[in-house]
Chain A
């Protein structure tokens, strides 16, 4: 994702935050996550993703995993919130 690389280089975070989780939510309908290490919990209302140094809690309705390949995860459904919590 060139956009993420661009943002990282602009903010000077390319080295310090390499391998960290990155995500984008599109209008609460689709979300794209990078560097996801595992899915620790999955229910249509709640999704817990594990990444380097943190966990992400995705909450919403009718959540489904469109694809999960090489740490890239696409989530569909009514996404209400993405919260970050420490491991």
Chain B
């Protein structure tokens, strides 16, 4: 690609300027007469200095015109080379940082945190290293650690989180402690990971009723369950508002009293 430089010469009979260039065997392109005494033309970039030298000692005033088209773009890039380099560096840094790990957080690891961190490090999850591990595969590996019942490994920003659920010592002691209801209502849903459900969906329960028994068929001593109960309470508007904490399904007036329908979640060692 040939780059051109555009000049404008001013003087009496500027056509004579072209003769000067012709004598020096300089090719001129795109000659346009702008005024009676002004002529614009382009020359190849490599001949720019030569042209300036030819007209330096003559009666013509020569001016270099601002670049156009590709030359303009090139000129702009050259003028802003620092800015472009900075932008490029920022872009590369951001692209690189997206994969970098600046912190590894192990939540709920308890006494097993050291082992879990070692597994993560073995799989390449380290500070100042790119994150290339497969979260699901890593979770499976972490689950092989003793007492770990739940694991989720994921990256958020520059931080890798490992959320761990442990079969705690309290869990062992909870063998004789079933999950009890602390309110009157109807069972909306029940999820039991271990233990035996004592109620089923749609059952009406009262406060103190057993919802989940700790022992299951496999003989597991660690109950882990979550039960959602739909409750109804009557009373003063503000009392009900305090009771539900504003998190109610409905709160409406029924005759002289207010009636609140709300959901209670009862859980035990449920991750």
Contact = CB atoms under 8 A, between A and B. Distances in A.
Contact of B33 (A43, A67, A69): A43
Contact of B30 (A39, A42, A64, A71): A64
B113 interface: no
A66 B39 CA distance: 13
Interface string A61-87: 000111111110000000000000000
**Interface residue tally of chain A, by bracket?**
10 to 19
Interface in A25-54: 38-44
Chain A interface main SS type:
strand
B32 interface: yes
Contact of A70 (B27, B29, B32, B33): B27
B27 A39 contact: no
Contacts of A43: 33
Contact of B22 (A38, A44, A64, A66): A38
B174 interface: no
A44 B32 CA distance: 8
A68 B27 contact: yes
Contacts of B5: none
Interface of A: 38-44, 64-71
10 contacts: A41-B13, A42-B15, A64-B31, A65-B41, A66-B29, A67-B28, A67-B30, A68-B27, A69-B27, A70-B27
